Amino acid sequence: MKKDSVTLIDNRTGKQVELDLLKPTCGPMTMDVRSLYKELGIFTYDPGFMATASCWSDITYLDGEKGILEYRGYPIEQLAEGSTYLETCYLLLHGELPSKEEYDEFEHSIKHHTMLHEQLLRFYSGFRRDSHPMAIMVGVVAALSAFYHDDEDIHDPQDRLAAAHRLIAKMPTIAAWSYRYAQGMPFVYPDNSLGFSENFLHMMFSMPTEKYTVDPLLAKALDVILILHADHEQNASTSTVRLAGSSQANPFAVIASGIASLWGPAHGGANEAVIKMLTEINESGKPLSSFIERAKDKNDRFRLMGFGHRVYKNHDPRAKIIREICHEMLAQDKCQNPVHQKLLDTAMELEKVALEDDYFKSRNLYPNVDFYSGIIFLGMGIPLNMFTVLFAVGRTVGWVSQWNEMMADPQSKIGRPRQLYTGAPTRDYVGIKKRS
């Protein structure tokens, strides 16, 4: 019997199988169940993948019990403190921090892919002005697959890298133009003299009629927020990207599927839902305790948005950093806004009350990345319906890095889960005339 293995015995037949335990760099040992169906004729059952490793990956490591998040081994706290979003993009894509030359070459490539094909501008006008920007982003990113398809070989590492650079570079342009379209304002083209986050704020807020200077403090806060959102292991949208990409589909269509998955309020859509929840609380005039009770009531669909996480059973390390940025930003006189301050005060009070409540403590429900991020976005002048769009801008590098890692693996297969069938047993067809 091998040391690193598990023996399963089927008590119906006494038949047993020895399954290898795969040893990770860090994290739990992982049982290799690939031979289980062949050996014992049984499936594993794990809806929501609560305890299932869907793949191997070298990119991001999470420890939910300790509240640890690392990109390619670097703690998120150190990257947020010392790196930039674009440098973090290089790290996630290539696995190592870049040299100065490597960084300059990468930055040059990204800067020279920020434009969209002029015909895509007309694509926007097909949307109603009040369309949710996430609907526009899903559509426009999927439409990019019509511009980059026939001459793309997803089995060529250089072609994959070109698609990755295009997506990282174009997402801020697509995002900002979704906002400008909704506002009835002219599209602002990227300015290659600006950094990644400065350029996004420039495309969002500058007007052709006057000079616009990006506030460096807001640009820095945005850059850190994008670092914090860049990747997060096999979350729902990344798993969507891997599954869609496993059929060897067009990478732009694949990333559009990730954007669609991120939009849900249980996932990336939570940042928008948090602000709606905090506003409802502030405008209701009711005590916080009434909302805490509602969140605990199984018969009430109300949840504490921004609270809880499938993996973190401790504080989400990103939430701690974002909360600090909230305080710093709202302390700056030009960002002071009594409504935003009230939202932050309510959020902090809610966190305090919830973390003292047995219901939340017993379920290890802590604030997650979405709990405070919306308050920062409001402070930047970014409207509510753009919050998840910004999450998608930050997460694009994680999606393309995970997609690229999967496509580069010669062992990768099309994802095709099985099921526990609970439907009708075999039965004969009866013509409608004979049916009662």
Which H or E element spans position 278?
A: helix 270-284
290 phi and psi angles, rounded to 5 deg: -65, -30
State the catalytic residue, choosing from 309, 315, 316, 340. 309
Which H or E element spans position 31?
A: strand 30-31
Q: Using the rule CB under 6 A, is 320 a contact of ligand SDX?
A: no
CA dist., res. 342 & res. 288, Å (int)? 13
How many Cβ atoms are within 10 Å of 226's Cβ, its own excluded? Answer: 25
How many Cβ atoms are within 10 Å of 55's Cβ, its own excluded? Answer: 15
Q: Using the rule CB under 6 A, is 306 a contact of ligand SDX?
A: yes
Q: Using the rule CB under 6 A, is 389 a contact of ligand SDX?
A: no
Q: Using alpha carbons only, how large is the chain's radius of gyration in Å?
A: 24
Which H or E element spans position 21?
A: strand 16-22
Among the listed residues 368, 373, 396, 404, the single contact to ligand SDX using CB under 6 A: 368
3-class DSSP state of 6: strand
What minimum distance in Å lies between the beta carbon of 435 and ligand SDX?
41
Q: Which is nearer to ligand SDX, 204 or 392 (CB)?
A: 392
3-class DSSP state of 70: strand
CA dist., res. 434 & res. 436, Å (int)? 6
Q: Candidates 9-17, 82-90, 298-306, 344-352 — which segment interacts with ligand SDX by CB under 6 A?
A: 298-306
Closest CA to 238 of 413, 424, 415: 415
Is-catalytic flag, 202?
A: no
What minimum distance in Å lies between the beta carbon of 83 and ligand SDX?
18
In DSSP terms, 63 is beta-bridged to 68
Binding mask 35-64 for ligand SDX (x = CB under 6 A): -------------x----------------
Q: Which is nearer to ligand SDX, 199 or 240 (CB)?
A: 240
Among the listed residues 120, 369, 376, 382, the single contact to ligand SDX using CB under 6 A: 369
What minimum distance in Å lies between the beta carbon of 286 and ligand SDX?
17
Q: Using the rule CB under 6 A, is 308 a contact of ligand SDX?
A: yes
Among the listed residues 108, 276, 352, 363, the single contact to ligand SDX using CB under 6 A: 363
Which H or E element spans position 223?
A: helix 216-228
Q: Using the rule CB under 6 A, is 370 a contact of ligand SDX?
A: yes
Q: Using the rule CB under 6 A, is 94 a contact of ligand SDX?
A: no
What minimum distance in Å lies between the beta carbon of 345 and ligand SDX?
20
Q: Using the rule CB under 6 A, is 235 a contact of ligand SDX?
A: yes
Close Cβ partners of 421 (under 8 Å, ≥ 6 residues apart): none
Residue list 261-280, contact with ligand SDX (CB under 6 A): 266-268, 270
Q: Which is nearer to ligand SDX, 245 or 317 (CB)?
A: 317
In DSSP terms, 278 is beta-bridged to none
- Which amino acid is located at 308 in the chain? G
Is-catalytic flag, 309?
A: yes
- Which amino acid is located at 315 in the chain? H
The sign of the dihedral angle between the CA atoms of 420, 426, 432, 436 is negative
Q: Which is nearer to ligand SDX, 160 or 395 (CB)?
A: 395
What minimum distance in Å lies between the beta carbon of 387 and ligand SDX?
12
Number of residues that bind ligand SDX (CB under 6 A): 22
Which residues contribute to the site for ligand SDX (CB under 6 A)?
48, 232, 235, 266-268, 270, 295, 303-311, 363, 365, 368-370
Which residues are identified as catalytic?
Answer: 309, 370
